[in-house]
Amino acid sequence: MRRRTLLLAALLALPGAVRAEAPKVNAEGGMALAGYDPVAYFTDARATPGRPELTAAHEGFTYRFASAANRDAFVAEPARYLPQYGGWCAYGMARGYKAVIDPAAFTVVGGKLYLNYDAAIAATWQRNRADEIHRADGHWPKVMHSLDVAR
């Protein structure tokens, strides 16, 4: 890790170096939410895999949907359904880093979708979620530009 960091620092110091764009959205291969339907978290209160034939693009990322109605709702109002912190783990974000998520480890709070690494982390996050959200909100503007992701 240290060697990779030093190499990256050296490359960025070169005149005219090309800087990689940090992944602000947790979207492996361009597929956001690991293919899960963002609208279903709100309408069905559960993690629902989207169907490959029902997709919509938003800011360069692809989202899948379980129904055409969910796709249409998302297209009409994407900000309403997008997960917080670009879909990275809310617990990790509260600690200042990006971490992958389990799409089934989620909570909707105040009309916002929060995802976590797994069910155990989600349970820990729930114990003091107001403080967790406050800390994560503070870290997100800086962490969103990080290239590092905890797995």
Regarding whether 60 and 93 lie in a shared domain, the answer is: no
Q: What is the pLDDT of residue 23?
A: 67
Q: What is the pLDDT of residue 10?
A: 39
Residue 96 φ/ψ region, left for φ over 0, alpha for ψ in the -120 to 50 degree band, beta for the rest: left
Regarding whether 101 and 87 lie in a shared domain, the answer is: yes
The number of distinct structural domains making up the chain is 2
Q: Residue 134: phi, psi to the nearest 5?
A: -60, -45
Is residue 75 a part of any domain in this protein? yes
Regarding whether 97 and 42 lie in a shared domain, the answer is: no
pLDDT, tens only, 19-34: 445 668 999 888 999 9
Is residue 8 a part of any domain in this protein? no
- Which domain range does residue 57 map to? 23-79
pLDDT, tens only, 90-118: 999 999 999 999 999 999 999 999 999 99
Regarding whether 74 and 134 lie in a shared domain, the answer is: no
Regarding whether 110 and 62 lie in a shared domain, the answer is: no
Regarding whether 93 and 37 lie in a shared domain, the answer is: no
Q: What is the pLDDT of residue 17?
A: 37
User: If you average pLDDT over every residue of the chain, what do you get?
Assistant: 88
pLDDT at residue 9 above 80? Answer: no
Regarding whether 53 and 91 lie in a shared domain, the answer is: no
Length of the chain: 151
pTM for this prediction: 0.84
R_g over Cα of the chain = 16
Is residue 1 a part of any domain in this protein? no
Is residue 34 a part of any domain in this protein? yes
Mean pLDDT along residues 70-98: 97
Regarding whether 127 and 67 lie in a shared domain, the answer is: no
pLDDT band at 151 (very low <50, low <70, confident <90, very high): confident
Is residue 13 a part of any domain in this protein? no
Is residue 103 a part of any domain in this protein? yes
pLDDT at residue 7 above 60? Answer: no
Q: What is the pLDDT of residue 148?
A: 81
